[in-house]
Amino acid sequence: MSDNGEMSVGSTGWWRERSDGMGVALSLEARLVHREQSPFQLIEILEHASFGHILVLDGYVQASQADEFIYHEMALHVPLLGRRRQDTSVLIVGGGDGGALAEALKHDFVTSVTMVEIDQRVIDLSAQYLGINGDYRDPRVELLVENAQGVVRSARERGETFDVIVLDLTEPVGPSAVLFTEDFLTDLVALVSPTGVIVDSDSIYLSLEGGDFLQEVSGEGENLVSVMRRTRLLPHLEVYRAKVPLYPGADFGFFLYSRDGVSLSKPVASYKGRHYDSDIHQAAFALPGWQRKWLGL
């Protein structure tokens, strides 16, 4: 959350994002370029000397012009290139900044991308200020500006499946809160194809207890990893990581959940992005000992 109500549009000051559960904060000297309350959330656009325009939703940094490519490339290319795929269908839950969509469309074997974003204003303002250029006109793309909970439930009832499902969500507040529940996850898991995977992500903190996550599921102090393990909705977990400067702690974990447990740690094809390449793909799965112990890997 943030406590930056004193900043007015056009003013420059120290903007702060508080992670209350961890007792830490991210502070940025930035200019507030835009602020509006959409029907779903508070949207702010900051301008920073090094990071450029920054998208903030309900007080949480989502993406910046300078570092968005790290998160988006790692979130998409690892699951897409970690095993041999063809005629691949992708579901993006959230992703209004357009970055996940842009990366998915870089692969010809991706034949369809369904993106579900509740807030049209996030899409519009991201295009205006971030310029990531997810191509919503690509014939492979179906954009649904709706609540993902209803879309996923309807897809389950129709028996639809997807090969790669990316949870590109805000923190579990506001419109995203209902997506951090066991009911939603149960519906979502039903959409995973036999060789498919769900990709989730979260900041990872080192603590006296071993570690902690930023996001909480169901308001019960659990995280998605613990819920998946307790319910065994998808029994196999693989973890990789990247450094994303503007996310709390900068140590960002990606969590792959699958039915068959086939490892995605080695790329089956070559691709080179601004951050991602085959070497980075493999290296990302090299976790430090304390993380492996804490995650039970």
- How confident is the model at residue 117, as a pLDDT? 96
In this predicted model, which residue has the larger pLDDT, 116 or 177? Answer: 116
For the chain, give every residue range classified as CATH 3.40.50.150: 68-295
Residue-wise pLDDT for 149-195, tens only, equals 999 999 999 999 999 999 998 765 666 666 667 788 899 999 999 99
| Distance from C-alpha of 191 to C-alpha of 160, rounded to nearest angstrom | 6
- How confident is the model at residue 93, as a pLDDT? 97
Residues in CB range of 217: below 8 A, 6 or more apart: 172, 180, 181, 182, 185, 223, 224, 226, 227
> What confidence tier does 220 reach under pLDDT thresholds 50, 70, 90?
low
Residue-wise pLDDT for 66-81, tens only, equals 999 999 999 999 999 9
> What confidence tier does 250 reach under pLDDT thresholds 50, 70, 90?
confident
Cα 6 to its chain centre, rounded Å, is: 29
DSSP SS3 for 229 = helix
- How confident is the model at residue 222, as a pLDDT? 63
Q: Helical H runs in 12-147?
A: 68-81, 99-104, 120-129
| Distance from C-alpha of 180 to C-alpha of 223, rounded to nearest angstrom | 9
Residues in CB range of 163: below 8 A, 6 or more apart: 85, 88, 89, 90, 193, 195, 196, 197
How high does pLDDT run on average in the chain? 89
Residue 219 has pLDDT above 70, yes or no: no
Provide the percentage of residues in the chain whose pLDDT is more than 70.
89
| Distance from C-alpha of 23 to C-alpha of 125, rounded to nearest angstrom | 30
> What confidence tier does 203 reach under pLDDT thresholds 50, 70, 90?
confident
From 67, 163, 168, 212, the catalytic residue: 168
Residue 256 has pLDDT above 80, yes or no: yes
| Distance from C-alpha of 112 to C-alpha of 30, rounded to nearest angstrom | 38
Residue 18 has pLDDT above 70, yes or no: yes
Cα 40 to its chain centre, rounded Å, is: 18
Residue 288 has pLDDT above 70, yes or no: yes
| Distance from C-alpha of 47 to C-alpha of 186, rounded to nearest angstrom | 39
Residues in CB range of 198: below 8 A, 6 or more apart: 165, 166, 167, 188, 189, 192, 234, 256, 257, 258
**119 is annotated as an active-site residue:** no
For the chain, give every residue range classified as CATH 2.30.140.10: 12-64
Q: What CATH class has 12-64? A: mainly beta
> What confidence tier does 106 reach under pLDDT thresholds 50, 70, 90?
very high
Tokens of 16: 């702060």
Helix or strand (DSSP H, E) at 203: strand 192-205
Considering the domain 68-295, what is its CATH architecture?
A: 3-Layer(aba) Sandwich (3.40)
